[in-house]
Structure 1
Amino acid sequence: MNFLPRHPHELQASNHTDQQDPRWKRLCTTRSGVEGTIREPAEAHRARRSRHHGHGKTHVQHVLTGIAINIERLASRAHPHHPRGLTAFQLHLNSRDLAWEHWWRQGK
């Protein structure tokens, strides 16, 4: 039996069909939120590499970084962040009455 790969355009059409499913969109928004939460300590707090050697000291660093992130989140609730406005490209599309996907920005 010989298995040949599907043509790229067939794969692309299949993926596009799958991505129109509301369950897929919900899963994608959940995954996006989780990835952002995991990425925050690594990027914003330089937790990708430990400053200390050994599991114990590294664990303490991770716990303290987590506490710092939670304090930042609590502080931002006291002074809520205003949502980002429309980009120049989105304003351009709106001015010409062209539709644009925005479900990914609103978690729908």
Structure 2
Amino acid sequence: MGFPPRELHELQLRNRAEQREPDWHKRYAVRSGIEGTICEFAHGHGMRRCRCRGQAKAHLQHVLTAIAVNVERLSRHPPGESAPPRPPTAFQDYLDQQGIPRLRSWHAAS
């Protein structure tokens, strides 16, 4: 068993203390949506490893997998019905709080 250097230990303590604050949770919430999508790709669709060699083929695999995931998500909704409105994301809430105008496509149904 080893002990980390004092500087590293103090940095870990500061980071852990910061993670208990509500402000940190608000900042981290911005990342939470994309983290879930990345986790779904990595664990649910095998995106940790490419089936082919080469950057072009790897890119093609990523694009086709993304299309498949979108089709799968769209197929969960009955035909003729639109998807239920999604609540605003943490990033959209942040933009609203700061008074920063959003693109029209970013507006959540309210």
Q: Does 1:62 align with 2:84?
A: no
Same amino acid, percent of matched pairs = 42
Q: Which amino acid aligns with 1:47?
A: M
For residues 27 and 74 of structure 1, the distance between their equivalents in structure 2, rounded to whole angstroms, comes to 30
How far the C-alpha of 1:27 sits from its partner, in A, is 1.8
What is residue 42 of structure 2 aligned with on the other side?
42
User: What is the TM-score of this pair, normalised by structure 1?
Assistant: 0.51
What residue in structure 2 maps to residue 75 of structure 1? Answer: 75
Which residue number corresponds to residue 53 of structure 1?
Answer: 53
Residue 32 of structure 2 aligns with an amino acid whose one-letter code is S
**TM-score where L is the length of structure 2:** 0.50
**Whole-angstrom distance in 1 between the partners of 2:63 and 2:16:** 41
Equivalent residues, number:
75
- Which structure would you say has the larger RCO, counting Cα contacts within 8 Å and 6 or more residues apart? 1
Corresponding residue number in structure 1 for 2:25: 25
Distance 2:64 2:56 in 1: 12
Question: What is the Cα deviation at residue 47 of structure 1?
Answer: 1.4
The separation in 1 between residues aligned to 2:35 and 2:22, in whole angstroms, is 20
**Match for residue 88 of structure 1?**
none
- Judged with a 3 Å threshold, the aligned counterparts in structure 2 of structure 1 residues 26 and 60 are, in CA distance, closer, same or farther, namely same
Quote how far apart the aligned CAs of 1:56 are: 1.6
RMSD after superposition: 3.1
Give the number of the structure whose alpha-carbon radius of gyration is greater.
Answer: 1
Partner of 2:6, secondary structure, is coil
Q: Judging changes above 3 Å, is the alpha-carbon distance between structure 1 residues 18 and 55 closer, same or farther for their aligned structure 2 residues?
A: closer
Offset from partner CA, 1:17-76 (integer Å, 9 cap, x none):
533533211122222322221121111111111111222221111110010111122223
Structure 2 spans left out of the alignment, 5+ residues: 84-110
For 1:39, the aligned partner's letter is C
